[in-house]
A and B are shown apart, each in its own frame.
Chain A
């Protein structure tokens, strides 16, 4: 199995979205919250399984890190994510690339809606 690394492959769209959602949720970046955040922004329903699978893959790639935080009832804890430096680099590179790609490009608006 070949492992994609931050420096040799651009992020997938969903990966990018997840990473941005982790940034947006800040300290509350646990799986369910990331899912909710994305749903609210994109307006489409997401399966929690897909979110967790991607979070895991990003952690394995070294773009995310997870720790446990005890913030509800006794004994229960949540796995909370944050961007690693490599994750931040990958995200900003993706963003730069996107912006370069869009420079001077106008999308013709459809004449009728």
Chain B
């Protein structure tokens, strides 16, 4: 064309600038006019002048054209003359592309649903898990400069006497506070008595924590001495529950029957040492108090790190030894250690959370790989369509944009679905994980949701760009050719195969991790606890302190009798500490007729008659404790097998006498029970009668054995009411069962295992979808090839074998790679494992074979279908 030739001789740069600024509909027309004018001017005034003119036109038009472009976009104005021209408003063509993409997705509902669902599960799940983990692992605790705060070793094992000895002169520490949990009975008006978890502490507590009440004051020196006014600081939540009165500070609150003045309200979100605690009172510190029941928490000098206070600790132990003689089992100079406050409070949860977080990240990866593989399959199939459209004059940019919009639509659908998954999954996790009240402060993290969605969407877009690149490279003629022939014996799909292999490998990783933890939990449950947890209900009760020793004894006895008398209850009893719950006393002893080296001791449990029977302790010799063992009769003691093994290895234990403060006679031997932690070896234990003890604890655990077939929950409810009837001043702290005590003892691994199983199920499904899709697609690419073979008289079995082998190969490689990765990463799970090697063959073979089986099945289904080729149909189609 003449104009084309002419335009080539005009200066290119100003022309290009002009063209870039013009709307597509008018670009050619206007630049042709400009070129025409250029040539006219060149002929009249010379090329140089014409070129200068062209430059002036281009630069002078730029501001007006830029404004013009924006104005058209903004108003959507299309000149009537352009109504049927290609390329109108940008915005409109985007909308049209979105509509087109939506139509295409509707035409392939399975693909669209699978892709969106896969992404939603990965993105939503990751968000949910991170929402919980973030609060525990990364968010600051409600204390100022938490790095300066640490908990001393030997938790709940310090006495007020020791504290007073070191108070104010702990080397390296600015302040140290003593605290211990104290559940307080709170009565509000005429309402029922309720038990509020609280803390009794020395006056330094809030200064150590670096927290101050929003209203009123914290503790001050002098609050924690005998005879001081009784004061209390309440949590924001408790203040709200009590009516949120603005006059709360200065009001009186009856705690344990004693009026306390409220001096402060803590800010919202403050908790210590766990979020269930709602009230803090100063403890009157006494130099005579030798009970080892408190914990020390300290703040180092400003700017120091509590992790680096080794030398001061040595000085502290020296200070302690100056004054106190420690028997070996209570020696505070052994392994002194300060634990940063965060580790102390969250340490137990950390491995479980990290494992879940890791599994979730893997799921997100699998989801990305899966969507990528799905899309890749789709775009391969579309290369013919794209080639045809391009050949018919479609615009490359527009085609690329349509692919892009399609990916974005899937990502948007996944975002909407994923938000639901994130919210639901978050609530599920908050219940499933051993979070306790921490869950209250956690929220799903929507900023992470955005990031995860962006990652997934980018993965989708990247995949979509693969065919777009070939579009731009212009090898569409090849694409058209191969699509017609079905890419005869072509290989292709390498990226798709790689993605599927990665998916399977990741699924193996998740599944074998889950299997490891599951195997460990199974082993924990198989441990012999020595007690029979089935059908045993537990009521933790704080009994009133009024009435002194005899009053408490009477309360325990009356409540036991009342519970045993409930219909459906076989027996009942009480102890101050139940098996599998840590804590309890360890008391020194001496045995008559033995050399008695210093430091002999055993665990010590004060129980009622009927307790050992209710808990299912097996009696090996002699008798248990009965109602005839009274204060006035001879003191008796029942010991366990571990006690016999350690102290009476060569003699008959029955009738032996031993002493702590008074002499007692051994009357029976029971089988070992897990009196401490589930995984600890059996330790020597003495069980003594509550009626014969010079002290009775406030906190008592009552247990009752339900008759076979009785409803334990109903029984516990009746039991709770019965306790209130018999002793209205007693407070039922919690109601549970021995089974849940056992579950608690199994620990976070138990909760994590259900979660990990869920996740590996998800990984399995995603992996299977990936294999199925890739195999199906592989089969589709070779349909023509096989159709020809079948037409030539060969059997279709070859097709089936080829497809199946292909799928099986992907699965096998994936499982192999996954197993190697799992073996390398398994030791990260070791904190959650008990008696299971990190290379546990049971877990690995189990997880591997399940995936292998599912994977082969997923490959077999499309392979079977590949065998059903009807050459006539296939060849006619193509």
User: Could you list which residues of chain A lie within 8 angstroms of chain B, going by C-beta atoms?
Assistant: 1, 30-32, 36, 45, 47-50, 52-53, 56-57, 59-60, 65-68, 73, 76-80
Contacts and interface: CB of A to CB of B under 8 A. Distances in A.
Contact of B65 (A49, A68, A73): A49
Contacts of A76: 3, 28-29, 32
Interface string B78-91: 01111001000000
22 contacts: A1-B74, A31-B30, A31-B33, A32-B37, A47-B56, A47-B60, A48-B18, A49-B21, A49-B62, A50-B61, A52-B26, A52-B30, A52-B65, A53-B65, A53-B67, A53-B68, A53-B71, A56-B72, A67-B81, A68-B85, A73-B2, A76-B32
A47 B57 contact: yes
A66 B81 CA distance: 5
A15 to B, nearest CB: 14
A32 B71 CA distance: 21
A49 B61 contact: yes
Contact of A56 (B37, B60, B61, B79): B79
B64 interface: yes
Contacts of B56: 45, 47
A111 B338 CA distance: 101
A14 to B, nearest CB: 11
A56 B74 CA distance: 14
B33 to A, nearest CB: 4
B447 interface: no
B174 interface: no
B81 A68 contact: yes
Contacts of B30: 31-32, 48, 52
Interface string B165-189: 0000000000000000000000000
A79 B60 contact: no
B68 A52 contact: yes
B77 interface: yes
Contacts, number: 84
B34 A79 contact: no
A79 B37 contact: no
Contacts of B32: 76
A45 B59 CA distance: 13
A1 B2 CA distance: 43
A49 B1 contact: no
B75 interface: yes
B79 A66 contact: yes
Contacts of B65: 49, 52-53
Contacts of B29: 76-79
Contacts of A56: 68, 71-72, 77, 79
Nearest to A77: B29
Contacts of B67: 53
A105 to B, nearest CB: 33
B68 A79 contact: no
Contacts of A80: 81
Given A53-B64, A56-B72, A60-B75, A73 B81 contact: no
Most chain A CB within 10 A, of B32, B33, B62, B72, is at: B33
Interface string B25-59: 01011101110110000000000000001001100
Interface string B832-875: 00000000000000000000000000000000000000000000
Contacts of A49: 18, 21, 57, 60-65, 68
Given A56-B68, A56-B72, A78-B29, A48 B57 contact: yes
A85 to B, nearest CB: 15
B26 A79 contact: yes
Contacts of A79: 26, 29, 79, 81-82
Interface in B230-273: none
A93 to B, nearest CB: 24
Contacts of A50: 60-61, 64
Nearest to B74: A1
